[in-house]
Amino acid sequence: MTKALIIIDVQKGMFAYGDPYEGERVVGVLSHALATARREGAPVVFVQHDGGEDSPLARDSEGFAIHEDLAPREGETVIVKRFCSAFQDTDLLDTLSEAGVTEIVVGGMQSEFCVDTAVRGAFERGIAVTLIADGHTTFDTPALPAAQIIAHHNHTLKSGHFASVEAGADIAF
């Protein structure tokens, strides 16, 4: 079984919206997972959201860039998406298939949107998923504070059998 790390939408522009809940701590957790994946020779895929012309995540803006603490290295895959799903209208599935990936480890932003959709999309495609419990984040909303959104997604994705959920310190490749 080949396991890959997928880091979703941890872009400079996400921090321009305001402060994501424990954003820098989450970047640290993802940085540790990234170092582990690289050390163990696991494939690494970065996903960037192109939010369109007037977005802080517009392709030609500074906000489109991946957070500097998680910068891709030469030869690492970067997938650009325009929808919540990292699989919709991208070559992510082909990229994973060509690398023989049968399991992914997922972390990033935002828990209730692109992270959730990537987990469910991978599950629907027969790919085993591990969600990094402390490696995804979001913002407070009028309906729920970010901490509750994160806890809800950890619980729902695990109890719904979409993913196993593990702490970043326990992730291995």
How far is residue 10's CA from residue 43's CA, in Å, rounded to a whole number? 18
The rounded distance, in Å, linking the Cα atoms of 132 and 28 is 12
Helix (H) and strand (E) counts in the chain = 5, 6
SS3 content of the chain, % helix, strand, coil (to 5): 40, 25, 40
Residues facing 164 on adjacent strands: 130
Is 114 catalytic? The answer is: yes
CB neighbourhood size of 39 (10 A): 9
Q: From the CB of residue 42, how many other CB atoms can be counted at a distance below 10 Å?
A: 21
Residue 56 and residue 164: Cα distance in Å, rounded? 32
Annotated active-site residue in 6, 105, 109, 114: 114
Catalytic sites, residue numbers: 114
